[in-house]
């Protein structure tokens, strides 16, 4: 359902503001759930001892509010209020405009702090109405400047009132009955205006279940579609991959060998591969993928490697070229940064089959690109290959095998569920000769020690990554930014080292240039935001320094740390944090095992960090949380499987709708 502007109270200006926070349809609006609830419970003023305690009282206005105006434009409103705890003065800043809404006798709720010596409430907020003996639960929403809570709440409730009955419900009728679930409109209404905790719990359960049901239906559908799909290419070759493996500068680990076997089995079978390759940063996934692509080449098919960023695409391209330099394999690079003129010959060579391996970003699966016989697609880091993208290729008459590489170690049970549509291979073993990275947590007062350790590393001609959360100074956030940090470090190291910056807002060309210089050891310290989070490989970089480390989830920190420790040199990771977050960060000191860290992260933060927006767009839920709601997920998995398989429901409007939404995804 679209057309937000139909909602009462949503004019063109409000519509734009709503769009700004991702609300584009009426469905989006009614599922813009509160991110927090405030509880208003009447305070007995006689019991207040601490002047800093937050208090809530309700009562009647007893005197006409007096407005005091100060120089500089501020103002103050003073009036008396009769409450259950007696008469009290109320004083609030900046609300002169409320005066006409506060006639004598008006019932209001006042929130603030109570000064018992003066019998005055210094109010921070005033609401209309009165409290009952039950807690009043107030919804608080994420918004944007210019869009007040009041307008947002009004829009949501108007939309619910007018369109609530036509909002689609994604739970089949028989399951609604089975679990005695509330209907959709009622549940939405309760979540936005909770009458009680019990009701709120009941309504959220239903909405969580619905999200997870829909999600698991999708996973189950994809899995069965893949299983039924025998249209994969059956590859056979009498040429020997082992010959090539012998030319590698190192021996494969046992895990690598095992995983490679699994992949080659997939490629050789007529069933289409849909496999997730999980392994810590540096565990050697990429080399396995390259070997798979080489095998695919031996069998006479093209391969594509898709990376999430330009930097990574370029790095993969260079690696692959280097590794395959003594073979006749033709490798090319295709990213958004390649000019139109340069793209044309690449398009041609993909179409006529001259190119064997193409490396790039999403440009690889755009409309214009035609392949001669694409047999294998490898995607690096978390990009689930959308069904849409798959069907893009399908329409061109190709159904390649797909290998997903992910450096996000997810606890196995969760992986089996949320990647239920894929087979999962895991590399646990690190290549031989790697020294575990030494990690240490510092606070801002220990910076001297940090700079000393940095100097030690630099003076042995090793390089350093520095991570800071912000690009530029930001008034609202008191965090380290890359530019200020560079100036500071130039001062500290007396301009003896070359320090440069990479961040997300730079043009790909600029980034590539600086990354190139870092790779060649021209740049000694590379300061960046987390754009380098994934995959970058510079083995002479032996130190990772992360500012405001408390801002990051453990899994992210672990991935960042994986940038170092990529050679036989001893590497170090320094985490700087001023917040009381040491216990959590100490976990980083104690282990280098990504799976262990992911378990801890899961326990501590829930799934947010693991499955954050960057990990995969299709795994973020508005209401459900994979850790807390794991049981609901399991139930939804079973139920959605039954629903999918049971032919009696094949004519259900809902089932058709769910399937068609997956296919057009
Ligand atoms: P990942 O993709 O899992 O992060 P890579 O495949 O990039 O890991 O491997 C990291 C580094 O380790 C690369 O420089 C690669 O050449 C090297 N490497 C991979 N496998 C081995 C191995 N079995 N022995 C030694 N070095 C290896
Ligand atoms: Mg196959």
Q: Are strands 120-128 and 107-115 parallel, antiparallel or unpaired?
A: antiparallel
Q: Specify if 224 maps to a domain.
A: no
CB 364 within 8 A of CB 536: no
The mean-pLDDT minimum among 289-293, 462-466, 597-601 falls in: 597-601
The mean-pLDDT minimum among 132-146, 217-231, 375-389, 589-603 falls in: 375-389
The mean-pLDDT minimum among 1-5, 61-65, 602-606 falls in: 602-606
Ligand 1 within 6 A of CB of 492: no
CB 301 within 8 A of CB 235: yes
Atom of ligand 1 nearest to the CA of 287: 6
Ligand 1 atom 11, closest CA: 282
Q: Where does the pLDDT of residue 386 fall: very low under 50, low under 70, confident under 90, or very high at 90 and above?
A: very low
- Which whole-number Å values give the CA distances from 400 to 25, 212, 266, 272, 273, in the listed order? 35, 29, 11, 7, 8
Ligand 1 within 6 A of CB of 257: no
- Which whole-number Å values give the CA distances from 388 to 40, 280, 350, 431, in the listed order? 47, 29, 21, 37
SS3 category, 227: helix
Span from the CA of 419 to the centroid of ligand 1 (angstroms): 25
Span from the CA of 440 to the centroid of ligand 1 (angstroms): 25
Compute the average pLDDT of residues 391-412.
70
Ligand 1 within 6 A of CB of 563: no
Q: Where does the pLDDT of residue 665 fall: very low under 50, low under 70, confident under 90, or very high at 90 and above?
A: low
Domain span holding position 92: 42-134
| Rounded CA separation 573/579 (Å) | 18
Q: Specify if 425 maps to a domain.
A: no
Span from the CA of 606 to the centroid of ligand 1 (angstroms): 30
379 with 462, same domain: the answer is: no
User: What single-letter DSSP state applies at residue 251?
Assistant: P
The angle that helices 582-590 and 594-605 make with each other, rounded to 10 degrees, is 160
486 with 578, same domain: the answer is: yes
User: What single-letter DSSP state applies at residue 26?
Assistant: H
Q: Where does the pLDDT of residue 279 fall: very low under 50, low under 70, confident under 90, or very high at 90 and above?
A: confident
Compute the average pLDDT of residues 198-204.
95
Span from the CA of 543 to the centroid of ligand 1 (angstroms): 18
402 with 443, same domain: the answer is: no
Residue 385: the pLDDT is: 45
Atom of ligand 1 nearest to the CA of 433: 25
CB 144 within 8 A of CB 152: no
Span from the CA of 434 to the centroid of ligand 1 (angstroms): 10
Span from the CA of 374 to the centroid of ligand 2 (angstroms): 12
| Rounded CA separation 150/145 (Å) | 13
Residue 62: the pLDDT is: 96
| pLDDT greater than 90 at residue 211 | yes
Instruction: Give pTM, 2 decimals.
Output: 0.64
Q: Which residues, at least 6 apart from 283, have a Cβ–Cβ distance to it below 8 Å?
A: 255, 427, 428, 429, 430, 431
| Rounded CA separation 377/303 (Å) | 6
| pLDDT greater than 60 at residue 613 | no
465 with 514, same domain: the answer is: yes
288 with 397, same domain: the answer is: yes
Atom of ligand 1 nearest to the CA of 539: 14
SS3 category, 38: strand
Cα dihedral across residues 417, 422, 428, 433: positive or negative = negative
Among all ligands shown, which has an atom nearest to the Cα of 376? 2
Among all ligands shown, which has an atom nearest to the Cα of 233? 2
Q: Specify if 12 maps to a domain.
A: no
Compute the average pLDDT of residues 135-162.
91
Span from the CA of 384 to the centroid of ligand 2 (angstroms): 19
Compute the average pLDDT of residues 619-625.
76
* Of 354, 385, 406, the domain-final residue: 406
| Rounded CA separation 587/446 (Å) | 20
Ligand 1 within 6 A of CB of 431: yes
Residue 634: the pLDDT is: 87
* Of 591, 622, 652, the domain-final residue: 591
Ligand 1 within 6 A of CB of 360: no
Q: Using one digit for the tens of pLDDT, what is the confidence trace for 120-142?
A: 999 999 998 899 888 889 898 98
Q: Specify if 87 maps to a domain.
A: yes
| pLDDT greater than 90 at residue 330 | yes
Instruction: Choose between 75 and 396: higher pLDDT.
Output: 75
If phi > 0 it is left, if psi is from -120 to 50 it is alpha, else beta; for residue 105 that is: left
What angle is formed at CA 189 by the lines to CA 148 and CA 59, rounded to 5 degrees? 60
Ligand 2 ion local residues (Cβ < 5 A): 232, 269
Select from 106, 575, 512 the least CA-distant residue to 316. Answer: 512
Reduced to 3 DSSP states, what percent helix, strand and coil does the chain have, rounded to the nearest 5?
A: 40, 20, 40
Q: Are strands 374-380 and 401-406 parallel, antiparallel or unpaired?
A: parallel
Select from 210, 118, 222, 113 the least CA-distant residue to 168. Answer: 210
| pLDDT greater than 50 at residue 516 | yes
Ligand 1 within 6 A of CB of 305: no
Ligand 1 within 6 A of CB of 566: yes
| pLDDT greater than 60 at residue 555 | yes
Residue 402: the pLDDT is: 87
Residue 618: the pLDDT is: 40
| pLDDT greater than 60 at residue 394 | no
Percentage of the chain beyond pLDDT 90 is 53
Compute the average pLDDT of residues 385-413.
66
CB 65 within 8 A of CB 98: yes
| pLDDT greater than 90 at residue 661 | no
Residue 42: the pLDDT is: 93
Span from the CA of 495 to the centroid of ligand 1 (angstroms): 34
User: Strands (DSSP E) along 485-616, which ranges?
Assistant: 499-502, 525-528, 541-546, 572-576
Question: How many Cβ atoms sit within 10 Å of the Cβ of residue 99?
Answer: 15
Question: Which CATH number belongs to the domain containing residue 369 in this structure?
Answer: 3.40.50.300
> In this structure, what token pair is assigned to residue 164?
């609530």
Mean pLDDT of the residues in the chain: 87
Ligand 1 atom 22, closest CA: 431
Among all ligands shown, which has an atom nearest to the Cα of 432? 1
User: What single-letter DSSP state applies at residue 602?
Assistant: H
Question: Which CATH number belongs to the domain containing residue 92 in this structure?
Answer: 2.40.50.140
Q: Specify if 628 maps to a domain.
A: no
Residue 339: the pLDDT is: 87
264 with 384, same domain: the answer is: yes
Instruction: Choose between 450 and 225: higher pLDDT.
Output: 450
51 with 114, same domain: the answer is: yes
Buried b (16+ CB within 10 A) or exposed e, 452-471: ebbeebbeeebbbbbbbbbb
| Rounded CA separation 416/221 (Å) | 15
Q: Specify if 122 maps to a domain.
A: yes
Q: Which of 284, 319, 409 has the most ligand 1 atoms within 8 A of CB, as the residue to mutate?
A: 284
Residue 540: the pLDDT is: 94
Which ranges constitute the DSSP H helices of 6-127? 12-20, 26-30
Ligand 1 within 6 A of CB of 287: yes
The mean-pLDDT minimum among 247-251, 396-400, 505-509 falls in: 396-400
Q: Which residues, at least 6 apart from 371, have a Cβ–Cβ distance to it below 8 Å?
A: 302, 304, 350, 351, 393, 396, 398
CB 333 within 8 A of CB 317: yes
Residue 280: the pLDDT is: 81
| Total domains present in the chain | 3
Q: Where does the pLDDT of residue 472 fall: very low under 50, low under 70, confident under 90, or very high at 90 and above?
A: confident
> In this structure, what token pair is assigned to residue 128?
């209309």
| pLDDT greater than 90 at residue 200 | yes
| pLDDT greater than 70 at residue 229 | no
| Rounded CA separation 292/295 (Å) | 5
CB 464 within 8 A of CB 545: yes
Ligand 1 within 6 A of CB of 284: yes
264 with 328, same domain: the answer is: yes
399 with 444, same domain: the answer is: no
| Rounded CA separation 245/243 (Å) | 6
* E strand or H helix at 467: strand 463-467
- Which whole-number Å values give the CA distances from 627 to 213, 228, 383, 588, 602, in the listed order? 16, 31, 22, 21, 7
CB 196 within 8 A of CB 215: no
Instruction: Choose between 413 and 597: higher pLDDT.
Output: 597
Length of the chain: 665
10 Å CB burial of residue 141 (0-12, 13-18, 19+) is middle
374 with 443, same domain: the answer is: no
| Rounded CA separation 639/635 (Å) | 6
Ligand 1 atom 24, closest CA: 431
Instruction: Choose between 389 and 175: higher pLDDT.
Output: 175
Span from the CA of 616 to the centroid of ligand 2 (angstroms): 25
Q: Which residues is 575 bridged to in the sheet?
A: 441, 546
Ligand 1 within 6 A of CB of 409: no
| Rounded CA separation 78/224 (Å) | 68
Question: How many Cβ atoms sit within 10 Å of the Cβ of residue 523?
Answer: 22
Ligand 1 atom 10, closest CA: 282
10 Å CB burial of residue 358 (0-12, 13-18, 19+) is buried
| Rounded CA separation 454/541 (Å) | 11
Residue 563: the pLDDT is: 87
402 with 451, same domain: the answer is: no
Q: Which of 249, 254, 285, 287 has the most ligand 1 atoms within 8 A of CB, as the residue to mutate?
A: 287
Instruction: Choose between 435 and 357: higher pLDDT.
Output: 357
351 with 398, same domain: the answer is: yes
Percentage of the chain beyond pLDDT 70 is 89
CB 325 within 8 A of CB 319: no
Q: Specify if 274 maps to a domain.
A: no
| pLDDT greater than 80 at residue 631 | yes
| Rounded CA separation 115/78 (Å) | 14
User: What single-letter DSSP state applies at residue 273?
Assistant: P
Ligand 1 within 6 A of CB of 253: yes
Span from the CA of 321 to the centroid of ligand 2 (angstroms): 26
Ligand 1 within 6 A of CB of 245: no
- Which whole-number Å values give the CA distances from 84 to 38, 55, 87, in the listed order? 22, 13, 8
Among all ligands shown, which has an atom nearest to the Cα of 375? 2
| Rounded CA separation 571/549 (Å) | 18
Q: Specify if 480 maps to a domain.
A: yes
* Of 406, 425, 447, the domain-final residue: 406
Q: Which residues, at least 6 apart from 274, have a Cβ–Cβ distance to it below 8 Å?
A: 222, 226, 401, 402, 421, 422, 423
Ligand 1 within 6 A of CB of 281: yes
CB 374 within 8 A of CB 400: yes
For the ranges 173-182, 236-245, 261-270, the one whose mean pLDDT is highest: 173-182
Span from the CA of 250 to the centroid of ligand 1 (angstroms): 9
| pLDDT greater than 90 at residue 106 | yes
Q: φ, ψ for residue 647 (rounded to 5)?
A: -65, -25
Q: Which residues is 374 bridged to in the sheet?
A: 302
Instruction: Choose between 546 and 363: higher pLDDT.
Output: 546
Residue 533: the pLDDT is: 47
């Amino acid at each position: 359902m679209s057309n937000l502007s139909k909602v009462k109270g949503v004019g063109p200006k409000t519509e734009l503001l709503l769009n700004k926070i991702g609300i584009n349809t009426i469905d989006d609006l009614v599922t813009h759930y509160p991110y927090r609830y405030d509880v208003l419970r009447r305070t007995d003023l006689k019991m207040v001892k601490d002047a800093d305690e937050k208090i809530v009282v309700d009562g009647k206005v007893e005197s006409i509010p007096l407005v005091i105006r100060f120089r500089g434009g501020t103002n103050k409103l003073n009036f008396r209020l009769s409450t259950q705890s007696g008469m009290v003065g109320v004083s609030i800043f900046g609300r002169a405009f409320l005066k006409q809404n506060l006639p004598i006798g008006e019932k209001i709720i006042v929130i603030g702090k109570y000064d018992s010596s003066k019998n005055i409430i210094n109010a921070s907020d005033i609401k209309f109405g009165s409290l009952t003996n039950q807690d009043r639960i107030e919804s608080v929403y994420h918004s944007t400047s210019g869009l007040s809570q009041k307008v947002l709440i009004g829009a949501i409730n108007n939309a619910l009132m007018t369109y609530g009955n036509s909002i689609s419900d994604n739970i089949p009728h028989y399951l609604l009955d089975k679990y005695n679930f509330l209907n959709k409109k009622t549940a939405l209404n309760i979540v936005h205006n909770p009458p009680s905790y019990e009701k709120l719990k009941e309504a959220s359960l239903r909405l969580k279940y619905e999200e997870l049901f829909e999600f698991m239906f999708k996973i189950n559908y994809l899995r069965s579609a893949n299983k039924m799909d025998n249209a994969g290419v059956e590859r056979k070759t009498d040429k020997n991959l082992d010959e090539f493996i012998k030319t590698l500068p190192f021996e494969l680990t046992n895990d690598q060998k095992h995983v490679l076997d699994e992949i080659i089995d997939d490629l050789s079978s007529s069933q289409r591969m849909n496999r997730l390759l999980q392994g810590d940063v540096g565990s050697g996934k990429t080399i396995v993928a390259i070997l798979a692509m080489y095998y695919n080449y031996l069998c006479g098919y093209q391969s594509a490697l898709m990376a999430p960023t330009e930097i990574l695409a370029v790095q993969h391209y260079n690696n692959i070229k280097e590794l395959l330099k003594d073979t006749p394999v033709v490798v090319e690079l295709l990213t958004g940064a390649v000019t139109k003129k340069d793209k044309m010959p690449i398009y041609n060579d993909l179409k006529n089959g001259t190119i064997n391996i193409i490396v790039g970003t999403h440009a690889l699966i755009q409309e214009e690109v035609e392949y001669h016989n694409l047999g294998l697609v490898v995607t690096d880091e978390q990009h689930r290959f959308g069904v849409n993208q798959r069907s893009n290729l399908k329409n061109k008459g190709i159904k390649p095998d797909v290998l997903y590489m992910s450096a996000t170690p997810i606890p196995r049970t969760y992986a089996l569920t949320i990647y239920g549509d894929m087979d999962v291979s895991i590399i646990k073993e690190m290549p031989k000769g790697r020294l575990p990275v030494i990690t240490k947590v510092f606070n801002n007062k220990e910076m001297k020690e940090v700079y000393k350790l940095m100097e030690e590393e630099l003076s042995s001609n090793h390089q350093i990554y520095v991570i800071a959360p912000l690009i530029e100074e930001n008034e609202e956030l008191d965090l380290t930014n890359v530019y200020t940090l560079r100036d500071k470090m130039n001062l500290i190291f007396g301009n003896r080292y070359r320090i440069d910056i990479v961040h997300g807002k730079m043009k790909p060309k600029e980034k590539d240039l600086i990354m190139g210089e870092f790779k060649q050891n021209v740049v000694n310290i590379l300061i960046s935001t987390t754009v380098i989070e994934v995959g970058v490989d510079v083995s002479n970089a032996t130190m990772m320094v992360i500012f405001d480390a408390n801002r990051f989830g453990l899994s992210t920190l672990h991935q960042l740390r994986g940038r170092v420790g990529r050679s036989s040199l001893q590497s170090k990771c320094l985490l700087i944090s001023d917040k009381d977050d040491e216990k959590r960060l100490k976990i980083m000191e104690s282990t280098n095992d990504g799976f262990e860290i992911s378990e801890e992260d899961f326990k501590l933060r829930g799934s947010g960090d693991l499955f954050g927006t960057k990990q995969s767009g299709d795994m973020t839920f508005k209401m459900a949380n994979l850790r807390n709601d794991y049981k609901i997920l399991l139930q939804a998995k079973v139920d959605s499987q039954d629903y999918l398989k049971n032919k009696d429901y094949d004519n259900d409007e809902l089932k058709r709708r769910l399937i068609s939404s997956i296919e057009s995804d």
